[in-house]
Amino acid sequence: MTYVLGDRGDIAAVVFGDPLLSPPGKDRGNKILWVSRVSQDGDPLLIEARLDGTGAPVTREVPGGPGPSGVDLPKAGCWHVTLRWSGHIDTLKLRYVQP
């Protein structure tokens, strides 16, 4: 199973829809299971992504905190992602490709 570990090691993104696609595929979603190794209290997982680490951020939210999600981003490329949940912060990079 493809996964990306956060830079601090506090969260992992298990990628079920590998590769991640932008625009999303018509027959499958961009499914990511977010797994936290640190405590959670049910706050949402806040996602801030920047294409190649620059430009305006794109934001997404996973209600209830780390867990299953579908995360679509507007363009193919390397997205630098900052994740915030239950007082924790971690970062990682996700790659989206064109279908």
pLDDT at 39: 87
pLDDT of residue 17: 81
The domain segmentation of the chain, as residue ranges, is: 2-97
10: pLDDT strictly greater than 90: yes
Is the Cα dihedral 42, 66, 47, 74 positive or negative?
negative
Which distant-in-sequence residues (6+ apart) come within 8 Å of 91 by Cβ?
6, 7, 8, 80, 81, 82, 83
What's the mean pLDDT in 63-82?
A: 97
- Outline where DSSP puts E strands in 37-87: 45-51, 58-62, 68-70, 77-85
Q: Which of 24, 74, 71, 29 has the alpha carbon at shortest distance from 51?
A: 74
- Pairwise CA distance, residues 68 & 76, whole Å: 22
The CATH class for the domain spanning 2-97 reads: mainly beta
> What are the CA-CA distances from residue 32 to residues 19, 69, 94 (Å)?
11, 5, 11
On whether the pTM is more than 0.75, the answer is: yes
